[in-house]
Each structure stands twice: as C-alpha cells, then as structure tokens.
C-alpha cells in the first residue's frame, strides 16, 4: 500500500506541475489579449472538459504533458493575407508546413484578427513562452526552499560514521586507485585506538574541531605520528590516542582526477586512520535557498546536455547486460517507481521516519520541475525555447532594420522550423518509449 501511495503522490505532483506549467502560458496569453481556445492537461482522448467563456478547460487520458492552444501561433505565408487559405504545395515538407498554416488560420474567426499570437510584440511572445518553464522553476524553488529550511540537508560533520577493519596495504593502480582490505592486512588505527561509530571529534592535539576537513588534513599530515583526540561519546568526553598508518596513495588534481606520469599514478605518503565521516541534517537559513537552487539547476542542466550520450547506456542496459546509470535519464514510469520505493522504505523514527520519506518525495518532484524548466529552454521547436528563439530573432531583425533605415521585415516565419519540430517530436517520442521500456525491464536501483 505504501508503494502505491508513493506512486500516486508522485503522479499527482507530476500532473500538478504540468497543469501549473500550462497556466504559466495561459495567464500571460490572456493578459496580452491572445485568444486561447483550449487549456488541456494530458494528451489523447478527453476525459473531462468544461468551457468557460471562449476557453475549453479539460483533462486528457495520457498524463504525459499538456498544452494551451492559442490562435495564430503561425503567421501566414509571406504575401498571403491574414485568414487567406492557399492551395497546398507539392513537396512533402512544404505540404506539412502549409497544412499547419491553414489549420492555424482556420481557428481565426471574424473579429479575432488582432488577437493572434504571431502579431504580438516579440517581448510579449517571450513572456508567454517562458511563462511555462518559469512556473516550473518557481515550483522547484518553493519545494527546495521548504526542504532545506524546514527539514534540512545532509551535511558532513566531524563525527565517525564507519570504521574500516584494516589498513589496505595493496599498491594502488590505475584500475584500482583505492585498494580495499584483504586477508592478512593489519588492523586499522581507528579500531586499534578505540574509536567507535558516532563518536564526535571535539579536538585533535588540543585544537578544537568544527569541520571534517580539519580532521582529514590532520590525519593526512600525521603518518606515523600519534594524535591525541578528544571525542564526545554520549554524555562523556573520552580522550584517545591514535597513530595514522603511513600509506602511498594517489594524488588528485583540482577536478578530482588521479594525477599520472608516464602512465603511472603519482603517489604521495599520507596518513590513514580508517574512518569515514557521518552526516547529519542541518537546517539552512532561507537566504541560502537561491544558491542551493542555482546549484541544483546547473546539475540538472549538465544531465540534460548529456542525454544523447546517456541514452546509449540506456539502450545497452535495456537490451543487453549493462547496468542503468543512477544519474541517467528516466521516464515518468521510472519517477513513479522511485516514488513508490521511497514511500515503502522502512526508516526508523530516529533516522527520520516518515519525514525523511516525505522530504525525498518532495525533492523528487522538485527535481522533475527543474528538468522541465531546463529541457523546455532548449531552443528547438516544438519546445518553448524554440518559440523564444523565434521571437528573439524577430526582435533582432527588426532592430537591425531600424538602424539601417530599412522597412520592417515583418514577423519571423517560425513555420519554416516545423520540419525540425516534427523531427524533434519523433526523437522525443522515441526517447520516451525507450526510457519507459528500460524503466520496466531494467529499472534504476537507488536502494541496493
């Protein structure tokens, strides 16, 4: 039941996000006088609809998107009079473009000639088309801000998380830069010195500790040299002495990549204690929210840019023996499945319980909205960014014409980009089908 509840929560969040995205288009369109004939959430057969004034509001059977139908999205062909229908051309692409123009013109009724989208000032077109993505950004901002201020973010603290049982003495290689423990390896200094999980490190050699980075730096610089620690264990402060082992380990560059020379790792002598840090939830002040949302947006954009590359891995995993990339793209089916798994997790109350699960579901919906925001900014039709690009180009052309004293060049003919839109739509449909299939036969495993 919890799994089903998680799926339903995610799908409700997806549907609401789509509905608000389309409202982001609807409200400025009506504000600028464009006639809007339909506001629909979903695709396919209409499940429910009501007409209010000149607009039909409804829900369709397939909740994988939505649309707002504005009249006159495409301008007439240069030389045609507004509302005039012309014989179709003979070329395949020309036929598609002409048919789209004619369909757009048929919607224009007497008295609607000045309520068409294509006649708007470019700035108003941009506001309308950015309204949807910006609504997704606002949703993500509100959800992420709520999570980090009310619930908190996991943050590494100067506290022992896990203890290594031994000192891995195997030599690092390019293939295995961080060797693991093997039979016969000596006991780790942390275990030998009496450290325990959940010990909070208060001081090292009399120096007060406030961050884990301080602990790491002291350990690395103290190979073979005893360290005097004071740890908080329950209600008591316990003094301990540990001696980091001396190991040869790889050096790393600013990007976190191992440094090599002549095909070999560049090693340095470092101290090894055998501990990993713990994490605790830390509530953030509200003024940290913009930086956090920006960081998440940049990460989302980096994933979107790599989608063509990552789709290769999706295909290999779906039709072969490869594993799914946990940071790769997923379909709405995959998002729903993850939501169900989160809701079904057995989380002890002292580890967050239901609040942890709720926070994870909220973060999942926020991430989806960031993905919708970034993806819709791609400057290709039929995405919102394609219409924005057309409006920007129209503005540039008119500005150049004014500077040169030339006649107004008129509206940018975005209809010429329809072949690209059709191709892009085919690509998106193919990707969606592949992702849905992969999420069914080889889903991403986030919980081991």
Q: What are the DSSP calls for 319-376, one per residue?
A: HSSPPPPTTS---HHHHHHHHHHHHH----GGGTHHHHHHHHHHHHHHHHHHHHHHHH
User: Total domain count for the chain?
Assistant: 1
- How far CA 186 is from CA of 161, 166, 176, 407, in Å, comes to 21, 5, 20, 84
Average pLDDT over residues 349-374: 84
72 CA to centre of own chain: 33
Lowest mean pLDDT among 33-42, 95-104, 218-227, 397-406: 95-104
Is the pLDDT at 89 greater than 70? The verdict is: no
Determine which one of 22, 56, 84, 107 is catalytic. 22
The domain that contains 179 carries what CATH number?
Answer: 2.30.42.10
Please, is 220 exposed, middle or buried when counting C-beta atoms within 10 Å of its C-beta (0-12, 13-18, 19+)? Answer: middle
Note the pLDDT tens digit of each residue in 236-283.
999 999 999 888 877 877 777 777 877 777 778 888 888 888 888 888
Give the residue with greater pLDDT, 294 vs 412: 294
* Predicted pLDDT at 249: 77
Residue 163 covered by a domain: yes
Residue 218 covered by a domain: yes
Element counts in the chain: helices (H) and strands (E): 11, 12
Rounded Cα gap, residues 345 and 356, in angstroms: 10
- The closest of 353, 329, 347, 419 to 380, measured between CA atoms, is 419
| Residue 260: strand, helix, or coil | strand
Tell me the residue ranges of DSSP E strands in 218-316: 227-233, 236-242, 245-250, 260-261, 264-265, 267-272, 275-282
Residue 188 covered by a domain: yes
Alpha carbon distance, N-terminus to C-terminus of the chain: 21
Rounded Cα gap, residues 193 and 203, in angstroms: 15
Give the residue with greater pLDDT, 248 vs 366: 366
Residue in the block written with tokens 């919102």:
384
Average pLDDT over residues 78-103: 55
444 within 8 A of 328, measured Cβ to Cβ: yes
Rounded Cα gap, residues 399 and 320, in angstroms: 54
Residue 322 covered by a domain: no
CA torsion through residues 156, 157, 158, 161, sign = negative
User: Does 394 participate in catalysis according to the annotation?
Assistant: no
Residue 230 covered by a domain: yes
The range of the structural domain enclosing residue 187 comes to 155-282
Quickly state the pLDDT bin for 33 (edges 50, 70, 90): very high
Locate 402 and state its tokens.
Answer: 């004014």
Residue 400 covered by a domain: no
Please, is 374 exposed, middle or buried when counting C-beta atoms within 10 Å of its C-beta (0-12, 13-18, 19+)? Answer: buried
Note the pLDDT tens digit of each residue in 178-200.
778 778 788 888 888 888 888 99
* Predicted pLDDT at 85: 43
Note the pLDDT tens digit of each residue in 322-359.
777 777 788 878 888 888 888 887 777 766 677 778 88
Lowest mean pLDDT among 79-83, 139-143, 374-378, 409-413: 79-83
Element (H, E) at 220: helix 212-220
| Residue 4: strand, helix, or coil | helix
Residue 222 covered by a domain: yes
Residue 186 covered by a domain: yes
* Predicted pLDDT at 83: 47
Compute φ and ψ for 198, nearest 5 degrees. 80, 0
């Amino acid at each position: 039941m919890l799994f089903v509840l998680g799926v339903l929560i995610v799908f409700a969040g997806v549907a609401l996000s789509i509905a608000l995205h389309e409202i982001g288009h609807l409200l400025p369109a009506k504000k600028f006088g464009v006639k809007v004939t339909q506001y629909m959430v979903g695709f396919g057969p209409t499940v429910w609809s009501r007409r209010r004034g000149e607009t039909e509001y409804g829900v369709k059977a397939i909740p994988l998107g939505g649309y707002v139908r504005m009249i006159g999205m495409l301008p007439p062909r240069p030389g045609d009079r507004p509302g005039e229908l012309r014989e179709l051309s003979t070329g395949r692409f020309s036929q598609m473009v002409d048919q789209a123009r004619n369909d757009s013109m048929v919607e224009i009724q007497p008295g609607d000639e000045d309520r068409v989208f294509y006649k708007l000032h470019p700035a108003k077109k941009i506001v309308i088309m950015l309204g949807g993505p910006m609504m997704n950004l606002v949703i993500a901002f509100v959800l992420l801000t709520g999570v980090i201020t009310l619930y908190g973010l996991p943050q590494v603290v100067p506290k022992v998380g896990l203890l290594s049982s031994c000192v891995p003495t195997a030599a690092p290689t390019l293939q295995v830069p961080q060797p693991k423990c093997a039979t016969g390896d000596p006991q780790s200094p942390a275990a030998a010195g009496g450290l325990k999980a959940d010990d909070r490190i208060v001081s090292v050699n009399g120096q007060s500790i406030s961050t884990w980075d301080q602990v790491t730096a002291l350990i690395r610089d103290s190979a073979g040299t005893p360290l005097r620690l004071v740890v908080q264990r329950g209600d008591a402060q316990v003094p301990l002495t540990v001696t980091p082992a001396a190991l040869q380990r790889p050096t790393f560059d600013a990007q976190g990549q191992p440094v090599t020379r002549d095909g070999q790792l560049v090693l340095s002598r470092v101290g090894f204690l055998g501990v990993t840090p713990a994490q605790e939830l830390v509530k953030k002040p509200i003024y940290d929210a913009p930086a956090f949302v920006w960081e998440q947006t940049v990460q989302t954009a980096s994933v979107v840019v790599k989608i063509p590359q990552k789709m290769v891995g999706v295909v290999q995993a779906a039709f072969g023996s490869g594993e799914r990339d946990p940071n790769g793209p997923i379909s709405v089916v995959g998002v729903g499945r993850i939501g169900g798994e989160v809701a079904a997790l057995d989380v002890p109350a002292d580890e967050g319980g239901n609040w942890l699960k709720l926070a994870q579901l909220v973060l999942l919906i926020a991430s989806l909205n960031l993905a919708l925001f970034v993806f819709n900014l791609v400057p290709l039709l039929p995405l919102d960014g394609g219409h924005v690009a057309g409006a920007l180009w129209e503005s540039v052309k008119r500005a150049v014409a004014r500077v040169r004293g030339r006649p107004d060049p008129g509206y940018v003919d975005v209809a010429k980009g329809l072949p690209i839109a059709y191709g892009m739509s085919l690509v998106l449909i193919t990707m969606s089908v592949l992702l849905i299939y992969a999420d069914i036969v080889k889903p991403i495993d986030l919980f081991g």
